[in-house]
Structure 1
């Protein structure tokens, strides 16, 4: 029976963990895929932007721009063209002719809008003389002052369409003259995600089969034998299940990351092919006018613009028919070799440093007279572009870090589910004797599920408020977006005070159940909220329930764990809270992208109601009212509080431990570190990983230390050690320059 229960639990956990990993991974891959598509379209659209800005610099008026329609159609043709990167013959290095395809297949259109958002030119007739949606107008391209240097998001999804906004600079003005708008339908993204989903399901099935085989081999050896203690057997079963599940998740995540690494290389080659194709077309036009290839004015400047727009490129050069470089550009500078004092081919900043791998080199032939037909007079030269391996390596490192983050979150989820599975096994095999046990592990699982459900919406509550926003009480939109969270925290603070008195009189379970019910009803109210005011009120209900349940769960630990296990109980509770918050936030963001915000509120309500069923099933023995007479009314002598506050130990505890600890967590960790990391160029993902380290320490290190503290006769040494470690952390900012 025990072996069968362990096998069922292990297989269920393996399926759940891999499914959770797959959902997180697909969400992450979809995000990277959209970013790569936007980057590619932005890069190609940059050529159109450059031509429009050059015309504006020569005095053209954007409202009366002759030839704009032709320019937009040309750009649309490039955006909807399939650029080949395959070689025509081994070792040739040249590419097949590019094949045009219908841009309408991807819903690609190009428009130009004025600073107020009114579209004046477009390849789609229905777009003309219409206004862009509000979310598009919030993009940096429509800001009153163009910011140089730091990159800001330039795209947004609205109504099933992705909008990319490229600011058009007006000569001698800080404000933009307008914006070039590239739109494409979400269907190609959905199609790609569907393909990724099918690939992931096939991969997951194979890994699941391999994991099942490993479980079948290791679990029988881990099940308790007659001479072996139950504790040792439980440890061996846990180790076997965790090892197999973690191994399966590592393999799944690694293969998924490898797949996207290959995709990143392909996208880089496609971008390079597109840029060289547009450059080839421009040079052919000049050659058709009788210009010689070695006399193309400021061609090195044009190559420099390409390098600046494409960080994936290490070098772009134009060579003559004999293979001598004429113009070249790299991040180190640009050069016109014919005018260089050392003669052709000798500029140190752009010397050939081409990698041996052919996949990083792309070439396009330039034909004499600019002719592109098969029977041309011969080659005038070639365009040679080298993809930067360093840039690709940085991209791969980013993918690896993001994949590792997904792996850590999924393993956190697996560990908490493993604890829950063991509780289920103990209940099934232990009978009535085990029914009354409700120790620290029980509240850890309850806290995990509770915070998992509560945190599903944490990443998008302000965004949902932004969608519902309407002028209310004269509050600006930016301030209104923070009102739901403020209301949630305000009512959480009120309910914590109510919960403290309630659980003293009636036990921990009543405020806990009431809090769960209030939070679930608040989530349902958030789902049904018709406007901003109702949504703010709904979050107040969620916060009120959160505060009741949070305080009641601590009351459970204080009343049930006993004096010796109190530290351990608090640590287990905090571990469940942090694990649930990390996993719930990640899962909620993923679900919101696929199902929408409202659906996540419904799922959150269902999970919160499930916690009530969990407590009734696994913690029934702890549901009891305080026995009559256990709360004795005592009249505290006057001045007792003052004597307590003047106690030497209490003063030291507050001034030397509690207050510095609050400064470290709130001041340094929550406030200073995000600002500092952003200031030194850390990405938002890296900042999130920084906070995950703190959470993981609270999940796994805190319970271990709490057990030692419970056994120690004097806790003061741990307070001293914690103060020294925190002090060293502060000193690191002074001693080291990051």
Structure 2
């Protein structure tokens, strides 16, 4: 029998299985980064097309506007069909265009123009407002997307700034350019994936024999991780280069197109016999061009010998410096002729703003880098799952007399079993998070212009949070009585039904009820997974295990939100909800495979929660738990203040604060990513250190001091960097206190009497309460004290609560215990 086991065929089977698993992880990771990158490239191409078409449309609308400015009614404007014909020849992406009155009546049209009513509604809704969704802030042009098509409405105004009509366009990005860019990106993705697969095959065939795989432990993940990092790094560098080249190329093309338009006008003037030195008033069209496209810093007209004749920018005529201007690296030169084949009489020079180009390149690099980070986070989670499967493949499995598994997993690292399930669960739930308020607005009668729209858009999210709070209170007792698997599986089913209900929602009420259903499922599953850690993890390792699970939560949240935004752009809102419901099957499979050996039977769960079942829980016991010095101060001095600061800063204050300092939405998202990355990768390490400490209280206090210091720092410094520092310090506060909170709480005598899972659910309910209170409190402080004052006072409240916990909460060292699990 031993001889049969040692045959070469059987010895190669584990290597084959591990190799196939590694290839699957590689394909999934490369597929994710490829999908995100291609979606981002599609968006970049669409944005560039929008900018170019808008420039041409505004040139046409400017000719119409000049007639309106002298009192000519739009309805009596002659030559509209000719202007649309010229626009059709200059915009190769154009599908159709029209000029319409404010009531939607069409005066002239070409091709297949879009329906004017939605675009006109956007223009009218933005009248008198500083910002309105669908309005390009640089020009006031309305824009909307219809599948792969882009639609624009350039307002035409009579005297008095009233919109009398609009120039309507519909375009589709050039398929040839789009296909060329995407084809090159796909080819690089294929090459890097095949190269990484070949390297993995060589490593597992020659560098890591079976015995090395069986004894390597965590080192087994090093080779796949390095290969994956290499593949994604090479592909990411190519993507960053593509982003840069596409953006710079389109920017120069747009400048070239504008310059050619002004060149034609100047050639026409020179054709009348006017010498370049006699041009008068030419600075006005030059200034209009510079103001319409900020990348154009200055425009110069030079004579045939290079002497400077006219110099202007967006503000008008500039003084001519002595001598000829020095040549610049970023400039476009257009020769001016009186006749098509005649000599060059002068030159038009467009000087591009190198600082704006450099800033745009940095933004594109940051966009590509963000995509890479999100994909890498998901890839590492897949590798952690692969490591877990490797460990189990080489484990020696036994069972106790009561059916408890022995030797299946490292008992000090039970969090790694829950982490893939938590990642899959949050990945699915986070898919629609990027557009929930936007989808809610589409269900309102009147859209953003509806009365109380800002409040009504928040109702579905509030319903989800409230239902999550409700089930957080119930799931702990359910875990104590029926085992952790009951709330976990029930929550997954309820969340699936809730997402399907969201896909079919046709009113704000039905959508709010559907999100409430999702919240019920979230609370059940989240508390059930925490119940697994509480009941199956040795007490000495609960802090690190809880930090590991929370890291999986944030990893799923980061990558799921990014994928959901991409999917929504391509397929619409309803598709995202349906996909989210389908993906919830994956964590269910994880529960039934990875976690199922540790399921609690009726007798097992009663035995595991004997302290809770020994006395019938009542409201009196709950009150006793809440008003006990240790548990009560933990909630009031740590859990609730941190949740107020966390949600108040991250979800409410940060976007408003950064917008006031000129940050873009992408910058806000990247700063929020800092929080998640610290919790994902620093949190588990800090949890291990907290577990090794004899006192958990000092870790909780340290977290409170760090987090409150981050909030208070905004009083002494301001700006984007200061906000990033505050977010990082709040993330460190979560890393310090997150795992220690659970370990501290489970060491309290009142908690032991009440029931570990039940007390954990009460603590998480308090966490939810703080999350609900955070935006309300911070919003009220903003209204009365301003942004900086509100944030500083929030930090002061957090600091006072931490000091109160330090002074009033009991401090005790970890009890010496065997930390035996049920059945051992």
Give the equivalent residue in structure 1 for 2:303. Answer: 320
Deviation for aligned residue 1:214: 3.2
Give the equivalent residue in structure 1 for 2:663. Answer: 682
Deviation for aligned residue 1:424: 2.4
Separation (CA, whole Å) in 1 of partners of 2:517 and 2:716: 47
Deviation for aligned residue 1:147: 4.7
Deviation for aligned residue 1:531: 5.7
Q: Which runs of 5+ in 1 are unaligned?
A: 81-105
Matches within 5 A, 1:621-660: 621-627=597-603, 628=606, 630=610, 631-634=612-615, 649=630, 653-660=634-641
Separation (CA, whole Å) in 1 of partners of 2:394 and 2:627: 53
Separation (CA, whole Å) in 1 of partners of 2:369 and 2:492: 33
Give the equivalent residue in structure 2 for 1:22. Answer: 34
Deviation for aligned residue 1:13: 1.6
Distance 1:283 1:138, change over 3 A: same
Report SS of the residue matched to 1:277: helix
Give the equivalent residue in structure 1 for 2:10. Answer: none
Report SS of the residue matched to 2:128: coil
Give the equivalent residue in structure 2 for 1:335. Answer: 317
2:389 equivalent to 1:389: no
Deviation for aligned residue 1:51: 2.2
Deviation for aligned residue 1:246: 1.3
Separation (CA, whole Å) in 2 of partners of 1:204 and 1:558: 43
Give the equivalent residue in structure 1 for 2:780. Answer: none
Matches within 5 A, 1:262-281: 262-281=245-264
Report SS of the residue matched to 1:500: helix
Deviation for aligned residue 1:586: 0.8
Deviation for aligned residue 1:483: 4.0
Separation (CA, whole Å) in 2 of partners of 1:539 and 1:734: 37
Give the equivalent residue in structure 2 for 1:89. Answer: none
Give the equivalent residue in structure 2 for 1:355. Answer: 328
Deviation for aligned residue 1:290: 3.6
RMSD (Å) for aligned C-alpha atoms: 3.1
Give the equivalent residue in structure 1 for 2:558. Answer: 582
What TM-score comes out, normalization by structure 2 length?
Answer: 0.77
Matches within 5 A, 1:159-174: 160-171=148-159, 173-174=160-161
Deviation for aligned residue 1:182: 2.5
Deviation for aligned residue 1:236: 2.2
Deviation for aligned residue 1:703: 0.9
Separation (CA, whole Å) in 2 of partners of 1:727 and 1:526: 38
Q: Any conservation in 2 of the 1:435–1:621 contact (CA below 8 Å)?
A: no
Give the equivalent residue in structure 1 for 2:580. Answer: 604
Matches within 5 A, 1:709-720: 709-720=690-701
Q: Any conservation in 1 of the 2:220–2:387 contact (CA below 8 Å)?
A: no
Deviation for aligned residue 1:516: 0.8
Separation (CA, whole Å) in 1 of partners of 2:467 and 2:120: 35
Report SS of the residue matched to 1:49: helix
The answer to which of 553-562 and 282-291 deviates more is 282-291
Deviation for aligned residue 1:249: 0.7
Matches within 5 A, 1:233-632: 233-330=216-313, 334-335=316-317, 346=322, 352-356=325-329, 360-368=330-338, 371-372=339-340, 374=341, 376=342, 378-430=343-395, 432-433=397-398, 437=409, 439-470=414-445, 480-529=456-505, 534-627=510-603, 628=606, 630=610, 631-632=612-613
For residues 646-683 of structure 1, give each alpha carbon's deviation from its aligned partner in whole angstroms, at most 9, with x where no partner exists. Answer: 66555654454334423321233332222111110111
Q: Any conservation in 2 of the 1:496–1:548 contact (CA below 8 Å)?
A: yes
Q: Any conservation in 2 of the 1:366–1:383 contact (CA below 8 Å)?
A: yes
Separation (CA, whole Å) in 1 of partners of 2:149 and 2:642: 48
Given candidates 165, 179, 189, the residue that maps to 1:204 is: 189
Give the equivalent residue in structure 1 for 2:781. Answer: none
Distance 1:185 1:314, change over 3 A: same
What TM-score comes out, normalization by structure 1 length?
Answer: 0.85
For residues 633-655 of structure 1, give each alpha carbon's deviation from its aligned partner in whole angstroms, at most 9, with x where no partner exists. Answer: 33799998777666655565445
Give the equivalent residue in structure 1 for 2:791. Answer: none
Q: Any conservation in 1 of the 2:154–2:167 contact (CA below 8 Å)?
A: yes
Q: Any conservation in 2 of the 1:354–1:386 contact (CA below 8 Å)?
A: no
Give the equivalent residue in structure 1 for 2:128. Answer: 145
Separation (CA, whole Å) in 1 of partners of 2:648 and 2:562: 25
Given candidates 69, 72, 76, the residue that maps to 1:60 is: 72
Separation (CA, whole Å) in 2 of partners of 1:539 and 1:176: 39
2:143 equivalent to 1:155: yes
Separation (CA, whole Å) in 2 of partners of 1:720 and 1:485: 31
Distance 1:275 1:593, change over 3 A: same
2:55 equivalent to 1:43: yes
For residues 127-170 of structure 1, give each alpha carbon's deviation from its aligned partner in whole angstroms, at most 9, with x where no partner exists. Answer: 5xx95242x24545762227599547742112653112223343
Separation (CA, whole Å) in 1 of partners of 2:657 and 2:103: 35
For residues 536-575 of structure 1, give each alpha carbon's deviation from its aligned partner in whole angstroms, at most 9, with x where no partner exists. Answer: 4433332222221122111111111132122122211211
Deviation for aligned residue 1:121: 3.1
Q: Any conservation in 1 of the 2:467–2:519 contact (CA below 8 Å)?
A: yes
Deviation for aligned residue 1:710: 1.3
Deviation for aligned residue 1:218: 4.4
Separation (CA, whole Å) in 2 of partners of 1:277 and 1:361: 14
Separation (CA, whole Å) in 2 of partners of 1:581 and 1:435: 32
The answer to which of 453-462 and 548-557 deviates more is 453-462
Give the equivalent residue in structure 2 for 1:183. Answer: 170
Distance 1:435 1:25, change over 3 A: farther
The answer to which of 431-440 and 725-734 deviates more is 431-440
Q: Any conservation in 1 of the 2:14–2:210 contact (CA below 8 Å)?
A: no
Separation (CA, whole Å) in 2 of partners of 1:583 and 1:308: 39
Q: Any conservation in 1 of the 2:94–2:169 contact (CA below 8 Å)?
A: no
Q: Any conservation in 1 of the 2:479–2:528 contact (CA below 8 Å)?
A: yes
Q: Any conservation in 2 of the 1:523–1:539 contact (CA below 8 Å)?
A: yes
Q: Any conservation in 1 of the 2:120–2:153 contact (CA below 8 Å)?
A: no
Q: Any conservation in 1 of the 2:392–2:408 contact (CA below 8 Å)?
A: no
Given candidates 116, 119, 122, the residue that maps to 1:132 is: 116
The answer to which of 425-434 and 560-569 deviates more is 425-434
Q: Any conservation in 2 of the 1:163–1:181 contact (CA below 8 Å)?
A: yes
Distance 1:328 1:544, change over 3 A: same
Separation (CA, whole Å) in 2 of partners of 1:453 and 1:658: 27
For residues 354-396 of structure 1, give each alpha carbon's deviation from its aligned partner in whole angstroms, at most 9, with x where no partner exists. Answer: 334xxx332222112xx22x3x3x3321212233332221111
Deviation for aligned residue 1:463: 3.6
Separation (CA, whole Å) in 1 of partners of 2:421 and 2:617: 36
Deviation for aligned residue 1:535: 4.1
Separation (CA, whole Å) in 1 of partners of 2:242 and 2:147: 30
